Chain A
Amino acid sequence: MVSAADVLDASDRERPTTDTIPLTVRVRRFNPEVSEDSWWDEWSVRCDPLERLVEVLHQIKWHHDGTLSFRRSCAHGICGSDAMLINGRNQLACKVLAQDVAPRVTIEPIRGLSVLKDLIVDMEPFMDGYRSILPYLINDSGEPEKERRQSPEDRHRYDDTTKCILCAACTTSCPVFWGDGAYVGPAAIVNAHRFIFDSRDEAGRERMKILSEKTGVFRCRTTFNCTDACPRGIEVTKAIQEVKRAILFERF
């Protein structure tokens, strides 16, 4: 009888072997217990060209320097933990392949938030902005007997903005957010959009009021950095413009 392990072993043998490639990884390090300044560390490793950068970082942390710190959880582009500034662009380390950055990659923490250690930043200011726009369904019309029904068209209206994973890649690519951390930032506006245009939600006007404050949507300078940075492909700038337009035509 063939066991599951045999099948797996056989499939392993059949898998085409790829040659490893050299990759030099340059990381901006910071540790307040060691130095007040950041410094650069560089490791030369060999890895599978189809390996993702988060695995290369694991390889470094597990075999070269255990003090290297970074956030990761699911490692499959869903949890939003490992947004980093990779070769000057905000990306998820788990969605970048080694072959696409070889032979050399530079990794820094995302910008505009305080660095706690190495690639780990303080996400609280980002979450404050997120919380400020009431990111939950508000409906006071009484609880329905079953679920709250919605037509496919109504659901489609805000489909794009449901994809946000709160990785902060957009907000920390925004020059307005870099300049003034009080700006709620693209991610908060995306999540406001998700409820403002939800037909079941009744607090759209409250969110629009919050977003028409000095720290809200009208600070957006449409640089499109956020749209470029989003690992989920959300049209962030478009969502921000739709919220602006909603506020404008609600008023006029």
Chain B
Amino acid sequence: MATTTSPRPAAPPDAREAALGRGRPIGGFELWTWVFMRISGLLLLVLAVGHTLIMHLPAGGVDRINFGFVAVRWQSPFWRTWDWMLLMLALLHGINGLRTITLDYVRPPGWRFAITMAFYVIGFTLMVLGTVIVVTFDPTGWGPIG
């Protein structure tokens, strides 16, 4: 080996590393959203099916749900957390699904940006609104209703 000359001298390692970005972390937004979709999907299965079983199936079904029912239920931080997580995960999961569909089918960059932003704004607004309700809901302030 010592006497032969390499016909193709390797490029300086530093230059190659700079060009190929070696050492920089891989993954990123797309990886994280992909992982999030899987985890939130599993959680939503429990949260949404649980929600349906508790709220809609027992005797009385949706007919027994009124202000009083919610007021009693939401005295427990557990149910407030459950409902808040259900709302947050469903919104994030749904909005990210819409973002993916937009990436697939909306080609013009301007439209793609505008539609994605519209989804983000709607999602963010609903998340803020829901969080405010969950955190500040106080049945005593409403007087004797239901």
Contact = CB atoms under 8 A, between A and B. Distances in A.
Interface residues of B, number: 26
Interface in B28-53: 28-31, 33-35
A209 B107 contact: no
Given A142-B10, A214-B103, A218-B33, A205 B1 contact: no
A214 B30 CA distance: 6
B49 to A, nearest CB: 23
30 contacts: A138-B20, A140-B10, A140-B11, A140-B13, A140-B16, A143-B6, A145-B1, A176-B104, A179-B104, A180-B105, A206-B20, A206-B21, A206-B22, A208-B26, A209-B21, A209-B24, A212-B26, A212-B30, A212-B31, A214-B29, A214-B30, A214-B103, A218-B30, A219-B30, A219-B100, A219-B104, A247-B26, A247-B27, A247-B31, A250-B27
Interface of B: 1, 6, 8, 10-11, 13, 16, 20-22, 24-31, 33-35, 100, 103-105, 107
Contact of B34 (A142, A203, A244): A244
Nearest to A142: B10
Interface in A202-220: 203, 205-206, 208-209, 212-214, 216, 218-219
Given A176-B104, A179-B104, A179-B105, A251 B25 contact: yes
Nearest to A175: B104
Given A143-B8, A219-B104, A250-B27, 10 more contacts: A180-B104, A203-B20, A203-B22, A206-B22, A212-B31, A218-B31, A218-B33, A219-B30, A248-B35, A251-B31
Given A214-B30, A218-B31, A218-B34, A180 B103 contact: yes
Interface residues of A, number: 24
A217 B45 CA distance: 25
B30 A216 contact: yes
Contacts of A250: 26-27
10 smallest CB-CB distances across A and B, nearest first, come from: A179-B104, A251-B27, A206-B20, A218-B30, A209-B26, A218-B34, A208-B26, A179-B105, A212-B27, A212-B31
Given A218-B31, A247-B27, A247-B31, A180 B107 contact: yes
B124 to A, nearest CB: 21
Contacts, number: 60
Contacts of B27: 212, 247-248, 250-251
A12 B8 CA distance: 53
Interface in A152-206: 176, 179-180, 203, 205-206
A135 to B, nearest CB: 14
A143 B10 contact: yes
Contacts of A203: 20, 22
Contacts of A180: 103-105, 107
